[in-house]
């Protein structure tokens, strides 16, 4: 169970409704847990059915972001919308990423305007500014790259721009850019890591000394509540984007091995050169596209670049404007993750055949 928010992190009690798109997802559930008990009526909107949300007293609306009418119905009567839902991943049909991440966000903005929702907090991604090179201590003034090697960051960047451009006197908006969210219940980062390690396919790209940022899930959720608390039309944070991380960059090798240890797995030792990894990623993408394969290639150009480069971000703006300070350290997060794995008695990720 997540700890109660500190007094500095509390959204003021309200009888109004907070909507979380993607409320049944990893980060969405963490945001709902933070909001619960603070006097908010909670509503979730997502494609799937999540009976566990009802147990938390959450009103769940099932629908697709592509359906403007369904999105508008979910936004009706809300004081704040946390737009968390997105199509994630490094592989898939470009049209699917665009429909979910860009057109879906357009629908959320339109629905907020239609029903007079005053605040919209958008979950973006630090990857929107990733240019394939080392990014060390960069801040929010870093420009978007001119090209992307994956559709997820490309479409998230388009959506972020539209959210921030929508900021105005009737609808205050901001975007949060968490990086590599992890923790108990993680359905993406940790399971992929564990699955590759068990299959013997996990490699470092280079020496693994490139420093990276991560974000423990409860810290990411905290940032969303702080943003909602401070966001108002005309406020200093309105219309801006903020990086959200642990504020504790570490060598990639150390991060991966610490996470593997929570699942009882040995450290990764083998490595390949960045040039070879990128070449294999490009070849794999070409083959998979030619075959029309739906499965994700074993490596892509984007993943090769991410594994080979440093990417950590300056979070002083979030500290200053949102009052954000990570509550859960990297070490404490590892302890919570290991305890969760022991309780569930099933380390994440499919076992190799």
Please give the positions annotated as active site.
152
Residue pair 99/158 in contact by the 8 Å Cβ criterion: no
Contacts by residues 154-157 (CB-CB < 8 Å, ≥ 24 positions apart): 154/97, 155/87, 155/97, 155/98, 155/100, 155/101, 155/102, 156/86, 156/101, 156/124, 156/125, 156/127, 156/128, 157/124, 157/128, 157/129
3-class DSSP state for residue 341?
helix
Residues with Cβ within 8 Å of 339's Cβ and at least 6 positions away in sequence, in order, are none
Distances (CA, A) of 238 to 129, 227, 233, 276: 20, 9, 7, 43
Any idea what DSSP says for residue 245?
A: S
* Angle formed by the axes of helices 274-291 and 301-308, nearest 10°: 160
Give me the sign of the Cα torsion angle 194, 200, 204, 208: positive
Q: Considering only CA atoms, which of 133, 125, 257 is closest in space to residue 193?
A: 257
């Amino acid at each position: 169970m997540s700890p109660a928010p500190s007094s500095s992190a509390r959204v003021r009690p309200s009888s109004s409704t907070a909507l979380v798109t993607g409320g049944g997802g990893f980060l969405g559930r963490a945001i709902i847990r933070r909001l619960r008990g603070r006097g908010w009526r909670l509503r979730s909107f997502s494609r799937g059915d999540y009976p566990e949300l009802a147990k938390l007293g959450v009103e769940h609306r099932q629908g697709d972001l592509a359906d403007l009418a369904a999105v508008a119905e979910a936004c009706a009567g809300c004081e704040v919308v946390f737009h968390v839902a997105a199509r994630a991943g490094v592989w898939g049909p470009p049209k699917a990423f665009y429909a979910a991440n860009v057109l879906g966000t357009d629908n959320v903005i339109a629905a907020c305007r239609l029903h007079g929702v005053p605040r919209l907090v958008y979950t973006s991604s630090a990857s929107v500014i990733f240019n394939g090179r080392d990014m060390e201590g960069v801040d929010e003034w870093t420009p978007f790259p001119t090209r992307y090697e994956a559709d997820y960051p490309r479409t998230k960047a388009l959506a972020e721009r539209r959210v921030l451009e929508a900021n105005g006197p009737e609808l205050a908006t901001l975007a949060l850019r968490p990086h590599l969210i992890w923790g108990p219940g993680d359905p993406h980062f940790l399971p992929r890591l564990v699955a590759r390690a068990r299959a013997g396919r996990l490699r470092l790209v280079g020496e693994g000394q490139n420093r990276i940022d991560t974000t423990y899930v409860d810290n990411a959720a905290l940032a969303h509540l702080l943003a909602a608390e401070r966001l108002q039309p005309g406020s200093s944070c309105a219309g801006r984007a903020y990086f959200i991380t642990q504020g504790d960059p570490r060598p990639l090798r150390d991060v991966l091995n610490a996470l593997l240890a929570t699942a009882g797995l040995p450290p990764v030792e083998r490595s390949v050169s960045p040039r070879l990894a990128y070449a294999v990623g490009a070849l794999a993408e070409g083959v998979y596209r030619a075959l029309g394969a739906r499965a994700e290639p074993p490596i892509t150009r984007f993943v090769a670049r991410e594994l080979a480069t440093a990417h950590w971000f300056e979070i002083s703006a979030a500290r200053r404007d949102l009052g954000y300070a990570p509550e859960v350290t990297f070490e404490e997060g590892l302890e919570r993750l290991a305890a969760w794995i022991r309780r569930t008695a099933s380390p994440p990720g499919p076992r190799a055949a």
